[in-house]
Amino acid sequence: MTTDYIAAAKAVLARNDRGGYTLPTDRLYPFQWNWDSAFVAMGFATYDVDRGCRELERLAEGQWPDGMIPHIVFHQPSDSYYPGPEVWRTHNAVATSGITQPPVFGMAVRVLHERGAPHARIRPLFEAALRWHRWWYSARDPEGTGLVALLHPWESGSDNSPAWDEALSRVPTTTREPVRRKDTGHVDPSMRPRDEDYQRFIHLVDTYADCDWEPARQWAAAPFRMGCVQTTAILLKAGEDLLTVAEALALPEAAEELRAMTARSRAALLSRWSPGHRRFLIRDLIAEADVITPTQAGFLPLLALDLPADIRDAAVAEMRRWMQGLRVAFPTTPADCPAYEPRRYWRGPVWPVIDWLLAAGLDRNGVPELADALRSSVSRAMETAGFVEYFHPGTGEGLGGQGFSWSAAAYLHFRSLSA
């Protein structure tokens, strides 16, 4: 029964609770991750608004003075993960990584507000989110284009996506210290990024640590700089949601600032549409070239744009093409792409939170039947294979970490919509 799965999803969140913050899963990810926690907070919001607020409050404890909310907050020590604080070498009051992740935080603030969280809890979360959005537009879009950039693949959340292959190949594999991976001791290496990927990831960490994590110096030194349509879409949607909260809290100056931010990104994102590819394209800002490798990122702008009918219909047709013959949708890379690896992390598998975002975008753009199909597809997969990290699109096999928090949160969110 559905109620049994709902109880099981709540039990996953309870097992991964570490005192106000939630691990993605034990051992493999033993700290608090940024966009994971934002999704988890929205999952909590379906039954425990107070706990959802606490999730974001604990994440905001790691916010830097310049406004960045890092992608990892190291609340307590663990030897089961690499790279830890000693590799990042940041100087924040709370031990954190030195890069960020997609700003789902603002979306969660609105959900908690609309679920009845008191203004005394929402106002500080809103302020933290607004400071972070300012950071995005200054540190990751210094030229004011509206399309924010990533300086590390981990900032995308889609760590080893084929979208990064060409740009990442230009990053050296040299690192200050030997790479000591821990992830492949917890999960089958065939499901994880390759060793060479990790060497390049850590080279980037070393590069930015040498810049003392100052945004302008990082921007100048970055050998990897990608104008990301997925991240910009999430930033834009979160900005719209924060604008709604600002108006509800009667904060006119913040509302006006958010209107300007969202207008800039809305125009930039729409300009990334490619009629020939029937999706939106990432931009390699160093090579000054479009990234034509197909990934789920090309459809994420549906989340934040009210598309003209011709663009919407073309994008939806391409999404349906990717879904043909699959047991679970939506794949992060289509099966006809040479880079497709249906068991390896972000190179093909289905992630419940990506379906969450895509379905929201389809609903926004008037395609509810396809939105329902995505939610139903991945919900059935979770009911069959459990609340795992991701799924094989062809077979439905559960892959990656087990008892995964944001998958459980996604299930709770999907079921709340159908209740």
Q: Rounded mean pLDDT of 313-333?
A: 98
Measured CA to CA, the distance from residue 236 to residue 358 in angstroms comes to 14
As a whole number, the mean pLDDT across the chain is 96
Q: Taking 80 as the threshold, does the pLDDT of residue 83 lie above it?
A: yes
pLDDT tens for residues 157-195? Answer: 999 999 999 999 999 999 998 888 778 888 888 878 899
pLDDT tens for residues 266-311? Answer: 999 999 999 999 999 999 999 999 999 999 999 999 999 999 999 9
Q: Tell me if residue 159 is catalytic.
A: yes
Domains for the chain: give ranges and CATH numbers: 1-414 (1.50.10.10)
pLDDT tens for residues 343-359? Answer: 999 999 999 999 999 99
The three-state (H, E, C) secondary structure of the chain, written as one string:
CHHHHHHHHHHHHHHCECCCCECCECCCECCEEHHHHHHHHHHHCCCCHHHHHHHHHHHHCCCCCCCCCCCEECCCCCCCCCCCHHHHCCCCCCCECCCCCCCCHHHHHHHHHHCCCCHHHHHHHHHHHHHHHHHHHHHCCCCCCCCCEECCHHHHCCCCCHHHHHHHCCCCCCCCCCCCCCHHHCCCHHHCCCHHHHHHHHHHHHHHHHCCCCHHHHHHHCCCCEECHHHHHHHHHHHHHHHHHHHHCCCHHHHHHHHHHHHHHHHHHHCCEECCCCEECEEECCCCEEECCCCHHHHHHHHCCCCCHHHHHHHHHHHHHHHCCCCCCCECCCCCCCCCCCCCCCCCCECHHHHHHHHHHHHHCCCHHHHHHHHHHHHHHHHHHCCCCEECCCCCCEECCCCCHHHHHHHHHHHHHHC
Task: Provide, rounded to the nearest whole percent, the portion of the chain with pLDDT above 70.
Answer: 100
> Which one from 141, 355, 389, 397 is the annotated catalytic residue?
389
Q: Tell me if residue 389 is catalytic.
A: yes
Q: Taking 90 as the threshold, does the pLDDT of residue 60 lie above it?
A: yes
Q: Rounded mean pLDDT of 24-48?
A: 95
> Which one from 55, 159, 241, 397 is the annotated catalytic residue?
159
Q: How confident is the model at residue 64 (pLDDT cuts 50, 70, 90)?
A: very high
The pLDDT of residue 1:
56
The pLDDT of residue 191:
78
The pLDDT of residue 189:
85
The pLDDT of residue 229:
98
